[in-house]
């Protein structure tokens, strides 16, 4: 997608949109961010996942030149966020957790002012504003003051404002917090479209399904540390085994089926007899072949079979749970199963 | 997202600093924002409309007879004095509003944009000169209604008005500094009042300096406000450019040179 960006705005050489090493930010006694490393590949969606107060926003603010790191370094497309902050600002768009638009002005006025500040001419700024409002479905509300905007409209305007200069990297700090499910889905759609046009997106979220839905890679942050990093699948497999769900056609078979399952997979299973369903942890996928053969030879017909990977919720609880109570690993394991 | 909106921007080369011309342009755009805000919320102009009217009436009729024998001969003394006092008091509001403004999320966006760091501040201050202009015009109009006929003529009165506006803009950088470092808007108001009350009243704005004790005269004579008041009197009443005018302008320049950089630095450091 190189042709999308002019020579000037084209990221220097980097396949890395973001490279952060050992970022630290302290507020008083509180080490809000305590040695965060992040590497985000250009053209991907990167999710930073963590509970409230984990240091997500502080990390983003440092990467977006809004806060100066106390230690560590960060580069955006190869440009240092402290030494070359003004260049970095030309490469990024930031949508904050609280809508960073002007409450007292109308949507059009907001976009026109931001466009003018970004160097567009008067007519060009007006055209750009109209174009973005149209695209984000805000044309009807364009002239109304923002005071009367709903949360979703405000977020959309906020995102629109971040896209004026078509920055190659966009920071979204909790883009869907407080939105209703429909608006949330719309927001996801918009974010996906952004990436399909070549932008890189770094988003923070406390919602696991959001990270699951959107992000190519995820970093889990807790208490200022990155506690896990990887693709969604990697994270899921790193914590728990997948589970196998079987459903028998005749519920009379269920006890026999259960015995076979436990024998072949060598694991405890759970049964819900009225549904005729057996659930068992699947540590070794190869054993499933044996299991199916055993079931066939015992003449037990199946009506359904599925494998479920652990959800990100489980991942999240396991990882951050360990961080909190490392010595009580028994109790946290109970959560994952 | 349709394809047009994800078109590349012009091939702007990446530069790590903004030129003076760009800074000025950004500041004017920010000033435009300030004007739009005033237009949206005209009620914030109450203070600059009521205060000049009220103060001019009160001070003239209360002190007129005692100080100059009668109200009419007090007018050439009090109108320039009250003008300076009112307009500079108005500039406190600049600091207060800046503080309120900065607490809003939109300042995060301004910070993340590749614009001159000084622009959000300079723009806000620039937009507020409209407030000083309103206060100035109203004070002179009130004087005129009460019978003030400045001998300098309309041209010199206009120059005097301009001088007051420029100096107030310079002084507003002081309050902008308080606005940036203070935690709340009301504390800005508090600090600013403490600074401003002695400065405006310990001057020649309302009474002749000769009537004060010697030690006070010493302060009043070096008080920059006194120089500004004298400069306005020279211009409006006699149509002359005096030494006081030069002192006022130099003072204004010094204030901007000192306070603009430290204000921007404090603004940058705030999270």
Q: Is residue A231 domain-shared with residue A103, that is, in the same domain?
A: yes
CB contact under 8 Å between B29 and A135, yes or no, is no
CB B41, CB A102: distance < 8 Å? no
Nearest to B1 among A61, A79, A135 (CB): A135
- The reply to whether B118 touches chain A by the CB within 8 Å rule is no
Q: What is the pLDDT along chain A (337 residues), one digit of tens a residue?
A: 334 443 344 444 448 899 999 999 998 888 889 989 999 999 899 999 888 888 888 999 999 988 889 999 999 998 999 988 888 999 999 887 776 888 888 999 999 999 999 988 899 999 999 999 998 888 888 888 888 888 888 888 888 898 888 889 999 988 888 788 888 888 888 888 888 888 899 999 888 788 888 899 999 888 888 888 888 888 777 766 778 888 888 888 888 888 898 888 887 788 877 778 888 888 788 888 889 999 999 888 988 888 887 776 677 777 766 433 333 333 333 333 3
B104/B124 Cα distance (integer angstroms)? 14
Residues in chain A with CB shorter than 8 Å from the CB of B26 are 117
A174/A203 Cα distance (integer angstroms)? 7
Q: Is residue A118 domain-shared with residue A262, that is, in the same domain?
A: no
Nearest CA in chain A to B106: A100
Residues in chain B with CB shorter than 8 Å from the CB of A93 are 112
CB B14, CB A87: distance < 8 Å? yes
Whichever domain contains A149, its CATH number is 3.40.50.300
Which pLDDT value is given to residue B170? 93
Q: Is residue A57 domain-shared with residue A88, that is, in the same domain?
A: yes
Residues in chain A with CB shorter than 8 Å from the CB of B14 are 8-9, 79, 87, 90-91
A152/A44 Cα distance (integer angstroms)? 24
Which ranges of chain A does DSSP label H, i.e. alpha helix? 56-63, 85-91, 107-117, 122-135, 151-162, 181-196, 208-214, 232-239, 254-265, 287-297, 312-324, 329-336
Shortest alpha-carbon distance between residue B96 and chain A (Å):
17
Q: Is residue A60 part of a domain?
A: yes
B94/A285 Cα distance (integer angstroms)? 70
CB contact under 8 Å between B36 and A99, yes or no, is no
CB contact under 8 Å between B41 and A104, yes or no, is yes
pLDDT at B161 over 90: yes
Q: Is residue A330 part of a domain?
A: no
Which pLDDT value is given to residue A10? 45
Taking 3-state DSSP, the helix, strand and coil percentages for chain A, each rounded to the nearest 5, stand at 40, 25, 30
Q: Is residue A188 domain-shared with residue A263, that is, in the same domain?
A: no
Secondary structure letter of residue B241 according to DSSP: -
CA B3, A11, B18: angle at the middle one, nearest 5? Answer: 100
Report the SS3 class of residue A27.
Answer: strand
Final residue in a domain of this structure, among A182, A212, A236: A236
Residues in chain B with CB shorter than 8 Å from the CB of A76 are none
A10/A1 Cα distance (integer angstroms)? 10
Report the SS3 class of residue A172.
Answer: strand
Helix axes A312-324, A232-239, angle to 10 degrees: 60
Q: Is residue A124 domain-shared with residue A147, that is, in the same domain?
A: yes
A278/B43 Cα distance (integer angstroms)? 70
Q: Is residue A260 domain-shared with residue A203, that is, in the same domain?
A: no
Which pLDDT value is given to residue A239? 65
Whichever domain contains A303, its CATH number is 3.30.70.100
CB contact under 8 Å between A98 and B37, yes or no, is no
Q: Is the dihedral of CA B256, B258, B259, B262 positive or negative?
A: positive
CB atoms within 10 A of CB A329: 12
Which pLDDT value is given to residue A198? 83
Q: Is residue A336 part of a domain?
A: no
Q: Number of A to B CB contacts under 8 A, please give it.
A: 127
pLDDT at B121 over 70: yes
Which pLDDT value is given to residue A240? 64
Final residue in a domain of this structure, among A220, A236, A252: A236
pLDDT tens-digit readout, B194-207: 888 888 888 888 88
Q: Is residue A217 part of a domain?
A: yes
Burial of A183 (0-12, 13-18, 19+ CB in 10 A): middle
Q: Is residue A255 part of a domain?
A: yes
pLDDT at B162 over 70: yes
Q: Is residue A174 part of a domain?
A: yes
Interface of B with A in 2-41 (CB under 8 A): 2, 4-18, 26, 29-30, 32-33, 36-37, 40-41
Domain boundaries, position A264: 241-308
Which pLDDT value is given to residue A321? 63
Report the SS3 class of residue A226.
Answer: strand
pLDDT-based confidence at B12, cuts 50/70/90?
A: low
Lowest mean pLDDT across A73-77, A280-284, B141-145, B265-269: A280-284
Shortest alpha-carbon distance between residue B191 and chain A (Å):
26
CB contact under 8 Å between B108 and A100, yes or no, is yes
Q: What ipTM is given for this predicted complex? A: 0.80
Which pLDDT value is given to residue B11? 47
Q: Is residue A284 domain-shared with residue A157, that is, in the same domain?
A: no
A193/B247 Cα distance (integer angstroms)? 61
Q: What is the CA radius of gyration of chain A?
A: 25
Q: What is the secondary structure of B74-136 as a DSSP string?
A: HHHHHHHHHHHHHHHHHHHHHHHHHHHHHTSTHHHHHHHSSS-TTHHHHHHHHHTHHHHHHHH
- Give the CA dihedral A121, A125, A131, A137, nearest 10 degrees: 170
Q: Is residue A329 part of a domain?
A: no
Mean pLDDT of chain B: 86
Burial of B225 (0-12, 13-18, 19+ CB in 10 A): buried
CA distances from A124 to A119, A121, A321, B8 (A): 10, 5, 52, 14
Task: Return the structure tokens found at B162.
Answer: 């301009």
* Total structural domains within chain A: 2
Tokens 């015992």 -> residue: A298
Final residue in a domain of this structure, among A204, A236, A268: A236
Task: Return the structure tokens found at A81.
Answer: 């966020």
Q: Is residue A69 domain-shared with residue A133, that is, in the same domain?
A: yes
Residues in chain A with CB shorter than 8 Å from the CB of B40 are 104-105, 145
Nearest CA in chain A to B13: A8
CB contact under 8 Å between A132 and B5, yes or no, is yes
Residues in chain A with CB shorter than 8 Å from the CB of B5 are 131-132, 135, 163, 166
pLDDT-based confidence at B153, cuts 50/70/90?
A: confident
pLDDT tens-digit readout, B23-52: 899 999 999 999 998 888 888 888 788 888
Q: Is residue A138 domain-shared with residue A268, that is, in the same domain?
A: no
Q: Is residue A246 domain-shared with residue A116, that is, in the same domain?
A: no
Residue A66 makes CB contacts below 8 A (sequence gap 6+) with A94, B108, B111, B112, B271
CA distances from A334 to A51, A227, A266, A320 (A): 20, 20, 19, 14
Q: Is residue A325 part of a domain?
A: no
pLDDT tens-digit readout, A51-102: 888 888 899 999 998 888 999 999 999 899 998 888 899 999 988 777 688 8
Which pLDDT value is given to residue B49? 86
CB contact under 8 Å between A109 and B36, yes or no, is yes
A228/A315 Cα distance (integer angstroms)? 10
Q: Is residue A216 domain-shared with residue A274, that is, in the same domain?
A: no
Q: Is residue A33 domain-shared with residue A154, that is, in the same domain?
A: yes
CB contact under 8 Å between A101 and B12, yes or no, is no
């Amino acid at each position: 997608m190189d042709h999308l960006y002019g020579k000037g705005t084209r990221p220097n050489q980097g396949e890395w949109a973001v490279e952060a090493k050992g970022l630290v930010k302290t507020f008083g006694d509180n080490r809000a961010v305590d040695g965060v490393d992040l590497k985000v590949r250009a053209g991907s969606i990167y999710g930073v996942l963590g509970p409230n107060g984990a240091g997500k926003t502080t990390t983003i603010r440092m990467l977006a030149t809004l806060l100066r790191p106390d230690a560590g370094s960060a580069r955006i497309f190869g440009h240092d966020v402290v030494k070359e902050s003004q260049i970095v600002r030309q490469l990024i768009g930031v949508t904050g957790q609280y809508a960073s638009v002007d409450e007292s002005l109308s949507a059009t006025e907001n976009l026109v002012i931001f466009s003018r500040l970004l160097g567009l001419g008067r007519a060009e700024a007006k055209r750009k504003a109209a174009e973005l409002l149209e695209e984000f479905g805000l044309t009807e509300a364009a002239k109304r003051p923002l005071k009367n905007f709903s949360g979703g409209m405000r977020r959309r305007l906020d995102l629109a404002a971040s896209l004026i200069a078509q920055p190659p990297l966009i920071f979204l700090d909790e883009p869907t917090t407080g939105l209703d499910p429909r608006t949330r889905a719309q927001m996801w759609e918009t974010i996906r479209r952004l990436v399909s046009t070549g932008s890189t997106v770094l988003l923070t979220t406390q919602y696991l399904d959001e990270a699951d839905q959107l992000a190519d890679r995820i970093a889990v942050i807790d208490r200022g540390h990155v506690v896990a990093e990887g693709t969604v699948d990697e994270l899921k497999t790193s914590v728990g085994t997948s589970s196998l769900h079987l459903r028998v056609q005749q519920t009379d078979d269920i006890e026999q089926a259960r015995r076979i399952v436990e024998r072949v997979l060598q694991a405890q299973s759970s049964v819900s007899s009225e549904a005729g369903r057996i659930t068992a942890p699947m540590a070794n996928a190869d054993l499933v072949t044996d299991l199916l053969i055993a079931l066939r030879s015992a003449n037990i017909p199946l009506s359904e079979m599925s494998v479920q990977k652990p959800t990100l919720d489980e991942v999240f609880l396991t990882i951050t749970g360990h961080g909190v109570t490392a010595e009580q690993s028994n109790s946290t394991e109970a959560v994952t199963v | 997202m349709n394809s047009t909106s994800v078109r590349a921007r012009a091939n702007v080369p990446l530069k790590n600093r903004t030129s003076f011309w760009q800074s000025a342009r950004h500041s004017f755009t920010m000033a435009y924002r300030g004007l739009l805000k005033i237009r949206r919320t005209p009620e914030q102009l109450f203070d600059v409309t009521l205060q000049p009217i009220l103060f001019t009436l009160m001070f003239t009729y209360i002190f007129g007879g005692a100080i100059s024998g009668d109200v009419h001969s007090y007018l050439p003394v009090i109108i320039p004095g009250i003008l300076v006092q009112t307009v500079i008091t108005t500039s406190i509001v600049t600091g207060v509003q800046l503080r309120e403004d900065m607490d809003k999320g939109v300042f995060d966006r301004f910070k993340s944009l590749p614009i001159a760091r000084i622009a959000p501040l300079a723009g806000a201050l620039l937009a507020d000169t409209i407030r000083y202009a309103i206060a100035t015009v109203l004070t002179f109009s009130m004087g005129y209604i009460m019978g003030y006929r400045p001998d300098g003529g309309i041209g010199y009165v206009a120059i005097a008005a301009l001088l007051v506006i420029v100096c107030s803009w310079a002084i507003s950088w002081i309050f902008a500094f308080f606005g940036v470092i203070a935690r709340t808007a009301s504390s800005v108001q508090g600090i600013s009042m403490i600074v401003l009350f002695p400065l405006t009243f310990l001057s020649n704005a309302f009474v002749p300096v000769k009537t004060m004790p010697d030690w006070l005269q010493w302060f009043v004579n070096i008080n920059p406000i006194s120089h500004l008041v004298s400069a306005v009197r020279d211009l409006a009443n006699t149509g002359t450019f005096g030494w006081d005018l030069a002192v006022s302008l130099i003072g204004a320049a010094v204030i901007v040179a000192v306070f603009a950089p430290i204000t921007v630095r404090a603004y940058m450091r705030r999270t």
